[in-house]
Amino acid sequence: MSASGAIPRIRRALISVSDKGGLVDFARFLVNKGVEILSTGGSASLLAKNGIAVREVSDVTGFPEMLDGRVKTLHPKIHGGLLGVRGNRVHEEQMEQYGINPIDLVVVNLYPFEETVAAGSGFQDCVEQIDIGGPAMIRAAAKNHDSVTVVVDPSDYARVMEDMTVHDGATSHDLRRQLAAAAYARTACYDAAISNWFSRQVGSTFPSRMVLAGRLKQTMRYGENPHQSGAVYLTGEQRPGVATATQIQGKELSYNNFNDTDAAFELVAEFSQTACVIVKHANPCGVAVADTVREAYRKALSCDTESAFGGIVAFNRSLDAETAQDLCDLFLEVIIAPSVDPEASRILSAKKNVRVLVTPSLPDPRSRGVQVKAIAGGLLIQDRDILVAGEDLRVVTKRQPSEQEMRDMLFAFTVGKHVKSNAIVYARNLMTVGIGAGQMSRVNSSRIAALRAAQAAEANGESQSWAVGSVVSSDAFFPFADGLLAAAEAGATAVIQPGGSIRDEEVIKAADDAGLAMVFTGTRHFRH
């Protein structure tokens, strides 16, 4: 603030933007308030073309733009005007000595580096979109926010105009501080995007310094529980999913909705055939593959109609009217699919609170990426789990699995990858019939999955447990034979698991004694 304590009136503004939306109206407002406008390149041309008085920065610095526009504003007459402290006698004397005029408002947004990377541009094109002068001006103005207003987002033009109207051509200290915080956040995100991109270019998965950044998408009424606050941020990763989906109806998504929908959509994307996944509390309670969307949904629902109530339903094909009609019979939180047929959308509109999301495409389950988890004082970071069971399968029992058993085992093992450990999945005819999730002992997960299979049969009017004739998947090896024996007792005929226990031979013997076929994958899929 000035030495007198008065709110500094804006007399001179520097404008240099790549996003020119709303700029002409904002600049015209400034001129009407008596503000002198300095500008560069395309911004200056646009303003002049619209009859707005503008002074080229090169006239102020005495230097033309040079090096293909790489050097425009990197000059003491610009940065001195931004950083000089008003009311500081030494600063003011030096500014007068060198002919530096104060700059009170900076309007800058940065070269579209993130968009250039997202478009798949080549290395050199991306490098050329790394802004140098813009971040320097933004940071200088934000540092001196006691006297300088900095605007990095066109959405803030209205706030500045309103504040200047109220304060007779000046801005309030509160607004300048808020805008300074936004400015530093923007340059931090920009630098994070550059740093992470460069790390990928040199093949560094875990660089010595890891930078994470995001842009606020939505704040929520609360977080995982009502006493917690919550929000979701966009990281810029080009991966289809709930964060970037388009919501076509329903209430605002909650924290738990985002978490559960992400789990459902990532799992359904694993299948090339038509599939449906129903999730509750981030665990699948029903998964099925079928010839049609409706059949896949009905099979998935039949696995556990009780748990599906209030759940999330994900499809990997366009949602049709017939399936939409079935969906209306159940209370659901979220439905997500690559697209929704117009008639299906009309039918679902009768359930106005159901959140319906569409995505441009499915996430690629084989696409590399990282997963991040916060811990006290740090971050746990790992590669995304993209391995699938396939060529390395090894039959370890005397009995070979049938073709149908093998198909069901691969299906179950894929599902198990997305179930909280310890994870046991019973499956039959490309549908889950019982899932045991998140237990501290593997045998208890096996028993719970068998219980769910018996309950599924009963709910569908059958007396024989659906575990009979099923296959069983385990996300990690059986440390003892008890979990496998629980599956055999329930009626399972084949087992797929990673193997690798010191008691593998004991478990294999138990499988042989029970007449089971068993396959080792060599790949563990813990999920926590």
pLDDT of 7:
65
Q: What local confidence, expressed as pLDDT, does residue 63 receive?
A: 65
Residue 252, helix vs strand vs coil: coil
In this prediction the pTM is: 0.84
Q: pLDDT (tens digit, 9 = 90+) per residue, 81-126?
A: 888 888 788 887 878 888 888 899 999 988 888 888 888 888 888 9
Pair of tokens at residue 103: 């700059």
pLDDT digits (tens, 9 = 90+) for 448-469: 999 999 999 999 999 999 999 9
Q: What is the mean pLDDT of residues 143-148?
A: 90
Task: Give the per-residue pLDDT at 210.
Answer: 81
Instruction: Tell me the mean pLDDT in the region 129-133.
Output: 84
User: Which has more pLDDT, 357 or 195?
Assistant: 357
* pLDDT tens-digit series, residues 223-279: 999 999 999 999 878 889 999 999 999 999 999 999 999 999 999 999 999 999 999
What Cα–Cα distance (Å) separates residue 379 from each residue in 141, 208, 209, 246? 32, 13, 12, 30
Work out the average pLDDT over 8-36. Answer: 90
User: What are 243-256's pLDDT values in tens digits?
Assistant: 999 999 999 999 99
Q: Which of helix, strand or coil describes residue 187? A: helix
pLDDT of residue 69: 63
- The pLDDT of residue 286 is above 60: yes
pLDDT over 80 (residue 519): yes
Q: What percent of the chain has pLDDT over 70?
A: 96
pLDDT digits (tens, 9 = 90+) for 360-373: 899 998 888 888 99
The pLDDT of residue 398 is above 90: yes
pLDDT tens digit string along 46-77? 999 999 888 887 777 766 666 666 666 667 77
Where is 278: in which H helix or E strand? strand 275-280
Q: Is pLDDT of 281 > 60? A: yes
* 3-class secondary structure, 350: coil
Q: What tokens appear for 488 in the block?
A: 């055999």
**pLDDT of res. 29:** 93
16 sits in which H/E element? strand 12-16
Angle (CA) 251 257 260, round 5°: 155
Catalytic residue among 20, 33, 91, 143: 143
Does 143 qualify as catalytic in the annotation? yes
Instruction: Write down all domains in the chain, each with its CATH number in brackets.
Output: 12-202 (3.40.50.1380), 240-385 (3.40.140.20), 394-520 (3.40.140.20)
